Amino acid sequence: MSSLRFKLIEEAYNRKPVEVKIPNERSESFYAKAVFNRQKMFEYLPKKTYDALVNAVENKEPITREIADSVAEGMKRWAIDNGARHYTHWFHPLTDGTAEKHDAFIEHDGKGGVVEEFTGKLLVQQEPDASSFPNGGIRNTFEARGYSAWDISSPAFILDETLCIPTIFVSYTGESLDYKTPLLRALNSVDKAATAVARYFDPEVNHVTSYLGWEQEYFLVDEALYAARPDLVLTGRTLMGHESAKNQQLEDHYFGAIPSRVEAFMLDLEIECHRLGIPAKTRHNEVAPNQFELAPIFEETNLANDHNLLLMSVMSEVARRHNFRVLLHEKPFAGINGSGKHNNWSLGTDKGKILFSPGKTLKDNLQFITFVVNVMAAVHTHNALLKASIMSATNAHRLGANEAPPAIISIFTGSQLAHVLDVLEKSTDNELTDLSAKDAMSLGVSQIPEILIDNTDRNRTSPFAFTGNRFEFRAVGSSANCASAMIALNAAVADQLNRFHEAVEARLAKGEGLREALLAEIRQLIRESKPIHFDGNGYSDDWKAEAARRGLDCETSAPKIFDAYLHDSSVDMFARTGVFSRLELEARNEVKWEIYTKKIQIEARVLGDLAINHIIPVATRYQSFLVDNVVKLKSLFTGVKGATIVAHDLETIEKISAHMDVIKTEVDRMVSARKAANRITEEREKAIAYHDNVVPPMETIRYHIDKLELMVDNEMWPLPKYRELLFIH
């Protein structure tokens, strides 16, 4: 086994960068070449159809079956012209991945042959099996019917010679079984609510769009070494492994020169992204060794989320072409940075105004404060829900460690904006003054100083930070579907904006002026949302105690964190915004608890196998070698001298025995805890049992295996070590 390990290490070190086939033309000439965007629509659709489809997308209106048939014909011709032979409805089940079933463009021609055919009926609706995806009990095996339906707002694309049509996925009885359906509902809700408030400042506003810019962090590991680590293959993370003597402590990897093998992979990935219309823009080394990041230009949230899911699929395929494996687990290696997917979120009007940007007029800046304060109020009210939206068995390893934000939701504003909010809260001045500096913003309230645009610091320990013209939701995990966080955030903000609008309208009905009414409600929200505002060190024990005193949710058990979805405040908010029914929320929590249990269950099984069948035999073999050595030395040296010579080996033998004893005992304890948990029928209680009773022995087992790794002969150790996994380019 050891000889295989060293052979794999040598193979990994000797790999050369894979040659990338670079297109001869510039990026803009092949960008979105594989996407049925408006340019392709204009070329392949009749003008009447094109106009109707564009109008439906922009105004969120349905299309007729006649238009659907026309779109299907044009889409089919474009797809076949570009080499596609199959089509599929591409949807997002409750698995954090995507799903697809491919059908060929053929139907019987009635003469013993086939014709290429694709109708509006096939475009608009399909019927996947709804019982074979996570559904939380909404569908049983004998009740398998479910529907996928075309999302006209997200363009179709060709991937690996298959036309992929983005769709929603719902049950036969209408409940959502995916992420896209509630995301579209939440985006529609925040559009309406934000538009109503934005019209206080610009009556011409017709729509408000939610924007998302994700930052995808990931690790790359050589494929050969990956294959030699069963824990990486089966769980996505290392269940054991002592930290390398050198990891990220010298801070020499972050923004460093990109290794040549990695740069070739990144270039290949970027070309694939651009062909698929994914606006990949930024690439760089991240903090941990072999950790990297890709970030795109901001897009409308639904499209951005589709692009992120597509990216995760594409990057895995591209990585294999370069003899890499992508690790999207939030914490694949202990003791160094984990991977997040920071969600940079903003709102903008159809008049080109970003609502979280300070402006050059007093009206713009009052609008800016209005929306910022409403977001703070929404996050305060639903801080437990927002934490639940990003929680998972995998992200639980990352939160609160190595620059990841803690599992307590708070908002960072920066000292200058914080000062403005503080002064505004205490002010009674409703008169506006003029701007006094070109590049500064003023609220027009005489006691409040100007704010320089983008004059905000960064706080890596903040899970939700204001960063100049957007909020950065930093707690989202790298393997997650962004929709989970975006559903909760957009729905919560929509509900808060609706409440704000109602309160302002009530004041206006009593005869108050608009400015007076707005500022009165803003001051009230500033006071109410103060507990969520924290600009300090989120890692400190003092903050944990302070957060509890402020009434923020401080729960750390993932299964219990999921309870926030079923709090009355969450159920009522989702009902008011039309995003989820109680049945849908209950079903989704069943899925969350079940997935949590299964992930820990798989990890426990893998760890038990590795401990008993890989580590213990090797440690025993090395211990036997030491025992033989002691016997031989004692035969050569007697008395005090002999005892002195063998003392070190005897101490090592004793330590190995002690570690193995604990490992065996804890594996038995873990297996017993797992069996006991498996007998529990209620998913929440089962998940809690896994968290409370199965995870602790797993951590103890790892500790003692990592100690053995430092003691056992390096040539005998069966698994690639951290220093080998993390420093091979």
Q: What does the pLDDT look like over 29-69, one tens digit per residue?
A: 899 999 999 999 999 999 999 999 999 998 888 889 899 99
Structure tokens at 371: 């929306």
The pLDDT of residue 428 is 74
How many CA atoms are closer than 13 Å to the CA of 356, on its beta-carbon side? 24
Of 394 and 426, more confident: 394
Number of H helices, E strands in the chain: 26, 19
pLDDT tens, position by position, 187-207: 999 999 999 999 999 999 999
Alpha helical stretches, state H, 125-229: 180-198, 223-227
Is the separation of the CB atoms in 163 and 87 below 8 Å? Answer: yes
Residue 435: predicted pLDDT: 26
Which helix (H) or strand (E) segment holds residue 169: the answer is strand 162-171
Is 208:198 a contact under the CB 8 Å cutoff?
A: yes
pLDDT at residue 86 greater than cutoff 50: yes
Burial, 644: exposed, middle or buried (Cβ in 10 Å; 0-12, 13-18, 19+)? exposed
Give the tokens for residue 673: 């805890």
The percentage of residues in the chain with a pLDDT greater than 70, rounded to a whole number, is 94
Question: What per-residue confidence (pLDDT) applies to 200?
Answer: 97
pLDDT at 447 over 60: no
Distance CA 497, CA 503 (A): 10
Answer yes or no: is pLDDT of 9 > 60: yes
CA angle at residue 427 from 421 to 430, to 5 degrees?
105
Q: pLDDT value at position 459?
A: 65
Given a contact cutoff of 8 angstroms between Cβ atoms, the answer to whether 342 and 476 are in contact is yes
Mean pLDDT of all residues in 474-481: 96
Tell me phi and psi for residue 255, to 5 degrees: 60, 15
Look at 246-250, 301-305, 654-658, 678-682 and tell me which has the smallest mean pLDDT.
246-250
Cα torsion through 485, 491, 496, 501, rounded to 10: 140
What is the pLDDT, as a whole number, of residue 613?
Answer: 96
- What's the pLDDT at 257? 86
pLDDT, tens digit, 9 for 90 and up, residues 318-377 = 999 999 999 999 999 999 999 999 999 999 999 999 999 887 777 888 999 999 999 999
Between 616 and 462, the higher pLDDT residue? 616
Averaged pLDDT of the chain: 90
- How far lies 194's CA from each of 155, 187, 205, in Å? 25, 10, 10
Share of the chain above pLDDT 90, in %: 71
Model confidence over 132-177: pLDDT tens digits? 787 778 877 666 678 899 999 999 999 999 999 999 999 888 899 9
Between vectors from CA 89 to CA 86 and to CA 93, what angle results, nearest 5°? 135
Cα dihedral 134, 137, 141, 145 sign: negative
Taking alpha carbons only, the member of 40, 126, 51 closest to residue 89 is: 126
Residue with tokens 């003899």: 323
Beta bridge partners of 178: 93
Residue 92, pLDDT above cutoff 50: yes
pTM exceeds 0.85: yes
Is residue 89 pLDDT above 70, yes or no?
yes
Q: What is the model's pLDDT at position 256?
A: 86
What is the spatial distance between Cα 235 and Cα 389, in angstroms, rounded to a whole number? 22
In the chain, the amino acid numbered 288 is A
Strands (E), 26-97: 86-90
Write down the pLDDT at residue 142.
Answer: 63
Q: Tokens 């205490």 belong to which residue?
A: 426
Q: Alpha helices, DSSP H only, in 62-129?
A: 65-81, 120-124
Backbone phi and psi for residue 411, each to the nearest 5 degrees, phi listed first = -115, 130
Instruction: Tell me the range of 66-75, 103-112, 666-675 where mean pLDDT is highest.
Output: 666-675
Q: 436 or 511, which is more confident?
A: 511
CB 52 within 8 A of CB 65: no
So what's the pLDDT on residue 430?
60
Alpha-carbon distance 234 to 351, whole Å?
49
The candidate with the shortest Cα–Cα distance to 341, out of 207, 485, 237, is: 485
Per-residue confidence band for 6, with pLDDT thresholds at 50, 70 and 90: confident
Choose the most confident range, by mean pLDDT, from 16-30, 109-123, 655-669: 655-669
pLDDT value for 453: 47
User: What is the rounded distance in angstroms from the CA atom of residue 306 to the CA atom of residue 255?
Assistant: 28
546 in Cβ contact with 413 (< 8 Å): no
SS3 (DSSP) at 286: coil
As a whole number of angstroms, the distance between CA 431 and CA 443 comes to: 10
Model pLDDT, residue 636 = 84
Confidence of residue 314 (pLDDT cuts 50, 70, 90): very high
Looking at residue 26, what is its pLDDT?
A: 82
Beta-sheet pairing, 157-159 with 162-171: antiparallel
Beta bridge partners of 220: 326
Confidence of residue 442 (pLDDT cuts 50, 70, 90): low
DSSP single-letter state for residue 41? H
Phi, psi of 251 (to 5 degrees): 55, 40
Distance between CA atoms of 85 and 80, rounded to whole angstroms?
6
Strands 103-104 and 86-90: antiparallel
pLDDT tier for residue 247 given thresholds of 50, 70 and 90: confident
